[in-house]
């Protein structure tokens, strides 16, 4: 501690009031009245380490006109209820390592500066409901043993709860936090983070019960663990969900947002729904025995390494398109033509069809043989018959690329593995034209000599 402590006892950590050498809680009544009389609105309030009863706290706030200035309340212990309705703090407030033995209600208070509650411990309920803070609020490493209420709060420069512990129910519904950081936090019961305006970071957090989350701008929950339900709704957001581990059901709603789920483990049923321009950029190494992808742009999504492709259902999704046209190659067959079809982004990377995809060609997971299996297992669960047929064709294409067997190349060349009847009709028309031309040429060549010797034919 960087202050002179109370001389009443070695156990008392309250800052000594000079010239008495005692903290505010141990001053005799006449000296206490004198100290309170010297307090005024807007001035520094320094009560570090002091133990404040409910009555003493009320007298201090009354002495400051319910408008203290800079407040230094580090390691203060509040033994009674803390109710700050109608109090305005004109400067920064520090309550680091403070202890709240009973209710801590900041409802109705106003903070003109920053608020720091790092390492604070709340034995009972904590309420920041509807509180307005112009600056930043810090609750890093804080422990909330009961319910924590932050709904409808407005924090001008964000909220930090890194490595904090919420043992009770936690709600942030309708709050405007600017940006909220919960990296490494632990939530013992249900957390409700619905309709929250601002970015949010839950990287490495642990949700021991159900979690209902939302965000705008930026949302990250990489490496988080959820033992119950995970329900996420985001708007105009970039979403990082890499390596999340969810035991219960997972529901992700993306509105004009894009998400990365690489390496996620979704043990229960999972649904990812899109609205507007909703995109998923990666499903690589995802373990999800049952997953639905609905109304999503998957044109840039990587599927390589997906653990259970047979458990994926695809509805109203869009995929990448193959290039169209004729190409000449030094490999067999030398002349190739491509018709437009839907394909996975991994195939674009494997074939190097664009400069952006060529960097992904080195991905060892996206081999032709594995992509053939991936196409074959995804195909039966696509709701669109055209896409399903394209995936079946792509599976054969990948098998041909992997095996290099002549009969597969011949099948591709002649009738497109039985799925391009127009190609077979074209070959039939070509053969018929060649045959007809040959017959016409043969008959014409035999008729010409006879026409040149008519009399010889008569005399004979």
Residue 291 and residue 306 in contact, taking contact as beta carbons nearer than 8 Å: no
Q: Going by C-beta distance under 8 Å and a sequence separation of 6 or more, which residues neighbour residue 444?
A: none
Over residues 302-312, the mean pLDDT reads 92
Q: What is the DSSP letter of 17?
A: B
Coil vs helix vs strand at 355: helix
Residue 357, pLDDT score: 47
Residue 212 and residue 231 in contact, taking contact as beta carbons nearer than 8 Å: yes
Output the CA torsion sign for 375, 380, 384, 390. Answer: positive
Residue 130, pLDDT score: 93
Q: What is the pTM of this model?
A: 0.83
Phi, psi at residue 236, to the nearest 5°? 50, 55
Residue 349, pLDDT score: 75
Residue 424, pLDDT score: 56
Q: Going by C-beta distance under 8 Å and a sequence separation of 6 or more, which residues neighbour residue 113?
A: 70, 89, 90, 91, 92, 93, 134, 135
Over residues 207-215, the mean pLDDT reads 96
Lowest mean per-residue pLDDT among 3-7, 177-181, 228-232, 361-365: 361-365
Q: Going by C-beta distance under 8 Å and a sequence separation of 6 or more, which residues neighbour residue 386?
A: 342
Model confidence band, residue 404 (pLDDT cutoffs 50, 70, 90): low
Residue 363, pLDDT score: 53
Q: How many CB atoms lie within 10 A of CB 387?
A: 19
Backbone dihedral region for residue 5 (phi beyond 0: left; psi -120 to 50: alpha; all else: beta): beta
Provide the β-strand partners of residue 187.
166, 207
CA 158, CA 381: separation in Å to the nearest integer?
44
CA 403, CA 44: separation in Å to the nearest integer?
80
Q: What is the separation of C-alpha 321 from the centre of its chain, rounded to a whole number of angstroms?
A: 26
Backbone dihedral region for residue 406 (phi beyond 0: left; psi -120 to 50: alpha; all else: beta): alpha
Lowest mean per-residue pLDDT among 54-58, 79-83, 381-385, 413-417: 413-417
Output the CA torsion sign for 330, 336, 340, 343. Answer: negative
Cis preceding linkage at 190, omega within 30: no
234, 139, 225, 223: which is closest to 187 by C-alpha?
225
% of the chain with per-residue pLDDT over 90: 68
CA 450, CA 87: separation in Å to the nearest integer?
121
Provide the β-strand partners of residue 419.
none
Residue 456, pLDDT score: 47
CA 6, CA 11: separation in Å to the nearest integer?
9
Q: How far apart are the first and last CA of the chain?
A: 136
Output the CA torsion sign for 282, 286, 289, 290. Answer: negative
Helix axes 29-38, 54-63, angle to 10 degrees: 40
Over residues 66-90, the mean pLDDT reads 96
pLDDT, one tens digit per residue, over 228-276 is: 999 999 999 999 999 999 999 999 999 999 999 999 999 999 999 999 9
pLDDT, one tens digit per residue, over 151-200 is: 999 999 999 999 999 999 999 999 999 899 999 999 999 999 999 999 99
Question: Per DSSP, which regions of 221-343 are E strands?
Answer: 225-226, 230-240, 245-246, 250-255, 258-260, 265-266, 270-275, 279-282, 291-294, 312-315, 320-321, 325-328, 335-338, 342-343
Model confidence band, residue 457 (pLDDT cutoffs 50, 70, 90): very low
CA 273, CA 162: separation in Å to the nearest integer?
30
């Amino acid at each position: 501690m960087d202050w002179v402590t109370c001389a009443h006892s070695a156990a008392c950590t309250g800052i000594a009031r000079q010239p008495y050498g005692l903290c505010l809680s141990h001053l005799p009544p006449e000296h206490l009245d004198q100290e309170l009389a010297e307090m005024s609105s807007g001035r520094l309030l320094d009560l570090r380490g002091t133990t404040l009863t409910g009555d003493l706290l009320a007298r201090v706030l009354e002495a400051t006109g319910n408008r203290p200035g800079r407040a230094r309340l580090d390691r203060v212990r509040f033994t009674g209820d803390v109710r700050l309705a109608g109090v305005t703090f004109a400067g920064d407030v520090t309550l680091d390592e403070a202890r709240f033995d009973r209710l801590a209600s900041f409802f109705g208070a106003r903070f003109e500066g920053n608020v720091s509650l790092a390492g604070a411990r709340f034995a009972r309920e904590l309420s920041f409901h509807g509180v307005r803070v112009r600056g930043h609020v810090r609750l890093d490493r804080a422990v909330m043993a009961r319910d924590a209420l932050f709904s409808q709060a407005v924090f001008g420069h964000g909220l930090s709860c890194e490595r904090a512990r919420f043992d009770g129910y936690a709600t942030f519904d309708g709050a405007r936090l600017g940006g909220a950081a919960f990296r490494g936090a632990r939530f013992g019961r249900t957390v409700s983070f619905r309709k929250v305006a601002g970015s949010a970071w839950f990287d490495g957090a642990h949700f021991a019960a159900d979690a209902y989350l939302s965000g705008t701008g930026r949302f990250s929950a990489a490496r988080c663990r959820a033992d119950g339900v995970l329900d996420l709704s985001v708007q105009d957001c970039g979403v990082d969900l890499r390596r999340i581990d969810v035991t219960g059901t997972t529901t992700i709603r993306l509105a004009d947002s894009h998400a990365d789920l690489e390496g996620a483990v979704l043990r229960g049923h999972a649904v990812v729904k899109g609205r507007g321009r909703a995109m998923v950029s990666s499903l690589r190494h995802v373990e999800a025995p049952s997953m639905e992808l609905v109304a999503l742009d998957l044109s840039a999504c990587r599927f390589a390494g997906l653990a259970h492709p047979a458990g994926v259902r695809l509805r109203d999704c869009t995929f990448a398109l193959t290039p169209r046209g004729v190409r000449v190659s030094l490999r067999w067959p030398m002349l190739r033509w491509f018709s437009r079809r839907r394909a996975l982004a991994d195939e674009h990377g494997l074939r190097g069809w664009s400069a952006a995809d060529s960097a992904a060609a080195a991905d060892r997971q996206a081999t032709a043989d594995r992509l053939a299996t991936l196409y074959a297992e995804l195909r039966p669960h696509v709701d669109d018959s055209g896409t399903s047929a394209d995936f079946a064709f792509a599976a054969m294409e990948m098998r041909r690329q992997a095996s290099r067997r002549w009969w597969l190349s011949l099948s591709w060349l002649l009738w497109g593995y039985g799925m391009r009847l127009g190609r077979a009709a074209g070959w039939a028309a070509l053969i018929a034209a060649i045959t007809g031309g040959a017959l016409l040429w043969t008959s014409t060549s035999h008729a010409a000599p006879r026409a040149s010797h008519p009399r010889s034919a008569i005399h004979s």
